[in-house]
Chains A and B, each alone.
Chain A
Amino acid sequence: EIVLTQSPGTLSLSPGERATLSCRASQSVSSSYLAWYQQKPGQAPRLLIYGASSRATGIPDRFSGSGSGTDFTLTISRLEPEDFAVYYCQQYGSSPWAFGQGTKVEIK
């Protein structure tokens, strides 16, 4: 069973700054089957990135994903006010699928 560990737990940044979120897997994630989701308070999560680096439909290009094997990164190039939320990574390469514990991006 693959365990995903996200860091940091909380990221305190100002609008306009760059955010770098990490997701580390306990074993290699096959075929880079790694996704990122954003969840705002009171809302369902929404898909941002799949296949480690492909943006989902309608996702702004300030969001980018990278990585392979066991180390993956979500980068938000310039934070907009609507980007302050919790972000989860998920591996879907082997069952059971697993989520990381989440990184909260908060306004500094």
Chain B
Amino acid sequence: EVQLVQSGAEVKKPGESLKISCKGSGYSFTSYWIGWVRQMPGKGLEWMGIIYPGDSDTRYSPSFQGQVTISADKSISTAYLQWSSLKASDTAMYYCVRLEASGYFDYWGQGTLVTVSS
């Protein structure tokens, strides 16, 4: 069974750094792109970027380029999303997704809620 299990909720202060994780299981982790999707409170879905764990090829949405860093450690089947300096506007639910070969998101993680507040 394909599963994406994300790390738990985080509460941070503005300016702090953060790295959240997404562990894949039940499939060949290095053979599928993994993506990240943001959902701000009460809002819709926004695609942030993707990574191919097999070679760490990474692509970002223009809206998120330079704002976050996506990485992966294929030895432990885990992808990451990180911020170097959080802002209150980063408060959101973040989902990791697996991309089927043609690009749609066939599996979703349970989400990680990030709250940034002073």
Q: Which residues of A contact B (CB under 8 A)?
A: 1, 31, 33, 35, 37, 39, 44-47, 50-51, 56, 88, 90, 92-93, 95-102
A25 to chain B, nearest CB (A): 15
Chain A residues within an 8 Å CB radius of B46: 99
B50 to chain A, nearest CB (A): 9
Tally A-B pairs: CB < 8 A.
60
Chain B residues within an 8 Å CB radius of A99: 44-47
Residues B104 and A45 in contact, CB atoms below 8 Å apart: no
Chain B residues within an 8 Å CB radius of A101: 44
Interface presence of B95 (CB below 8 A) = yes
Interface of B is mostly: loop
Interface presence of B59 (CB below 8 A) = yes
Name B43-100 residues within 8 Å CB distance of A.
44-47, 59, 61-63, 95, 100
Residues A33 and B103 in contact, CB atoms below 8 Å apart: yes
**How far is it, in angstroms, between the C-alpha of A100 and the C-alpha of B44 when the chains are bound?**
8
Number of interface residues of B (CB under 8 A): 20
A8 to chain B, nearest CB (A): 15
Residues A98 and B47 in contact, CB atoms below 8 Å apart: yes
Chain A residues within an 8 Å CB radius of B62: 1, 96
Residues B47 and A33 in contact, CB atoms below 8 Å apart: no
Q: Which residue of B lies closest to A35 (CB)?
A: B104
Chain A residues within an 8 Å CB radius of B95: 44-45
Residues A37 and B47 in contact, CB atoms below 8 Å apart: no
Contact flag A92-B108 (CB < 8 Å), given A99-B44, A99-B46, A102-B44: no
